[in-house]
Amino acid sequence: MEKPRITRLTKILTQLQSKRILTARELATKYGVSVRTIYRDIRTLEASGIPIITEEGKGYSLQEGYQLPPVMFSENEANALITAEQLILKNKDASFVEHYTNAITKIKSVLKYSQKGKTDLLSQRIIFRVNKEESRSSSFLMQIQAAITNFNLLDIKYLSLQNKATQRIVEPFALYSTNENWLLIAFCRLRKEFRAFRIDCIEQITDTQKNFEPHQMTLEEYFEICKEKYLNTPDKPLS
């Protein structure tokens, strides 16, 4: 088997391990080959014993519970992870920093012995001049992420930039970061519309243990709606 194909098959296997489902067209676009070539690649992986499930009309996924051997990182990939680590350590959300630190520790455990010394050196030679005091102004990012993916209704106690306190029931939709601050985009049941909430203005979050119907729109469509409504991004006005 030619080397470029072996490399592509390995990458496709890694992609299948990292995502719940992938389409042949996505893979063809990513690797610059035809959809027919991806079909052949999938059949080759199946013939080698990889339990790939084909979901008609949706795409491919790995059989649940199937575990691949630990992924090996190239030196450049390891360096990219260490660079990201130094940036995330400057993040203002304590929960995000804590969970990423735990994750990167696990990733470092599978690095080659020769890579570990290099990554330790690199982590000492990279600095981001943002949030220099390493202040932590929120600790809700991870809880909100879980609520977004599980469609959990949240009860939040919110103190606006105008120092006005309100209690809100919100349907979390998306997150974005601007000017070192995280913002939650959510449908506010009090205001009956989508609003943007600064996470560092949220004083308390309670999971209501209730779910809501997923919103049938993309984040890009949300921003287009905001442009039409406010002629600006949803940074302004904030709730």
Higher pLDDT, 6 or 187: 187
Q: Is residue 238 pLDDT above 50, yes or no?
A: no
> For all residues of the chain together, what is the average pLDDT?
87
Closest CA to 62 of 47, 45, 75: 45
Say which CATH class 3-62 falls into: mainly alpha
Q: What is the mean pLDDT of residues 183-208?
A: 95
Domain 3-62 identical in fold to domain 141-230: no
The proportion of the chain whose per-residue pLDDT surpasses 70, expressed as a percent, equals 92
Which pLDDT score is estimated for 221? 92
State the CATH architecture for 141-230: Roll (2.30)
Assess contact for 186 and 170: CB atoms under 8 A: yes
The b/e string for 69-88 (b: 16+ C-beta within 10 A; e otherwise) is eeeebeeeebbebbeebeeb
Residue ranges per structural domain of the chain:
3-62, 75-124, 141-230
The proportion of the chain whose per-residue pLDDT surpasses 90, expressed as a percent, equals 53
Which pLDDT score is estimated for 11? 85
Please provide the size of the chain in residues: 239
pLDDT tens across 6-33, in order?
888 888 888 888 788 899 999 999 999 9
Distance CA 153, CA 157 (A): 13
Other beta carbons less than 10 A from residue 202's beta carbon: 22
- pTM value is 0.68
Distance CA 173, CA 151 (A): 8
Distance CA 189, CA 216 (A): 17
